[in-house]
Amino acid sequence: MPFYQPNQTKPPTKEDLNEKSKQIEQSVSAAETLKGDNNFLNYIIRKEQVLFCGIYSQIFACHNHQEPDSTLICRMFQVNAGIDPVNDLYLKILRFIGRKCPNIIGTFDIFYDQTRRIYLFQELANRGNCLEYLKAGTFVEPTQAIRWAYSIWNAMDFLGNCGVSHRSIRPKHIMLKTNPLSGTLIAKLGSFRDAIIYWNRETESVVNVKKFPWCEIKFANFQAPESFTKIEDTNDAKETFDPIMADVWSFGATFFYIISRQYPFDLYKSNDIATIEQEIKNRINTTTALNDDAKRWFVDLLNVDPNKRTKFDDIIQDTWFRSQIN
């Protein structure tokens, strides 16, 4: 059980979460490039090998002499990205995770220079992200998708034990790479730009998150239906949601999309929660890519009521799910 629940017998305890969330919050986001006690000079950034170029950042191939067996990238965030190299939570979480979890894209180092430009060194996902993989026309067998789902569940398990909720689980953030030993594709969780610390040390309880405007539900952002409110002025709205249960819905929606190539409900006809609930059930039950046991698993995962949704620990206890990963 990675996420805290009252009266649970397994970790994490309140004490565990207090300590880990404190470590993250009180850490520094990045190290200075000019300090002599760091690893920055061991990295060779191959600026002629541009893997991505955007408004706020670029990604380059790179190499580290001390990591000869690792294929790396350097993501260089420009100053206009607005990332604070000392206090940014996104970078703090990445540094804390580092390479501790094999199911999460590994972060080797994070630095910033005198101009406050950020250098993020991570492992390369040589097959890109899952959304790109699907857009290339590749069909993913349900068994393969569920094995990937198990990897992402383990990533979420690790995060939950650290007091972190990902908050942006979607196909674009499922990274694929080739296993060097077997040649099979493995999935890892990436992109922590929206991640939060779900634990409040002062109240020793899960932090509830303010809901988004209902108009944002019109986008395929894989957020749980309860994440949205129809109250027009969200600055005054007091409606909140549980980020842990919302991540469970996003997990289910992501893998339903990977298998069926469908979003769980019609984004342009989503007038209310009742409409969404019926649409989810219809789409799951009419897809030909799933058998009856798989459909039941997805219906429970994508329940619009978070109190009736499958609990995180129960996801992998399902008989059908276990039959797919064994």
pLDDT band at 283 (very low <50, low <70, confident <90, very high): very high
pLDDT at 3 over 60: no
- Average pLDDT, integer, range 151-167: 97
| Closest by Cα among 235, 285, 244, 239 to 265 | 285
Asked whether 171 and 249 are in contact (CB, 8 A), the reply is: no
Question: Mean of the pLDDT values across residues 298-323?
Answer: 96
Calpha distance 312→286 (Å, rounded): 26
Q: Percentage of the chain with pLDDT > 70?
A: 94
Question: From the CB of residue 217, how many other CB atoms can be counted at a distance below 10 Å?
Answer: 19
Structural domains of the chain sorted by starting position, each given as residue range(s) with its CATH number in brackets: 14-123 (3.30.200.20), 130-325 (1.10.510.10)
The mean-pLDDT minimum among 58-62, 69-73, 155-159 falls in 69-73
Is the pLDDT score of 296 beyond 90? yes
* Radius of gyration, CA atoms only, the chain: 20
Asked whether 199 and 25 are in contact (CB, 8 A), the reply is: no
Residue 224 scores a pLDDT above 60: yes
Q: What mean pLDDT is predicted for residues 273-302?
A: 96
CA–CA gap between residue 131 and residue 145 (Å, rounded): 13
Contact call for residues 217 and 228 (beta carbons, < 8 A) = yes
Provide the pLDDT for residue 234. Answer: 56
What mean pLDDT do residues 83-107 have? 97
Distance CA 265, CA 303 (A): 12
311 is written with which tokens? Answer: 């609990």
**pLDDT of 318 strictly over 60:** yes
H or E element: which one contains 130? helix 130-135
Q: In the predicted model, is pLDDT for residue 185 greater than 60?
A: yes
φ/ψ region of 154 (left if φ > 0, alpha if ψ in -120 to 50, else beta) reads: alpha
Calculate the average pLDDT of the chain: 93
Residue 230 has pLDDT above 90, yes or no: no
pLDDT attached to residue 1: 43
Per-residue pLDDT at 194 exceeds 70: yes
With cut-offs at 50, 70 and 90, classify the pLDDT of residue 238: confident
User: Average pLDDT of 196-205?
Assistant: 95
Residue 128 reports pLDDT greater than 70: yes
What mean pLDDT is predicted for residues 83-109? 97
Residue with the bigger pLDDT between 5 and 188: it is 188
Which percentage of the chain shows pLDDT scores above 90? 85
Find the mean pLDDT for residues 171-186. Answer: 92
pTM score of the predicted model: 0.93
Residue 192: which residues within 8 A CB-CB, separation 6 or more? 90, 93, 94, 97, 166, 168
Q: Which residues of 50-59 are buried (b: 16+ CB within 10 A; e: fewer)?
A: eeeeeeebbb
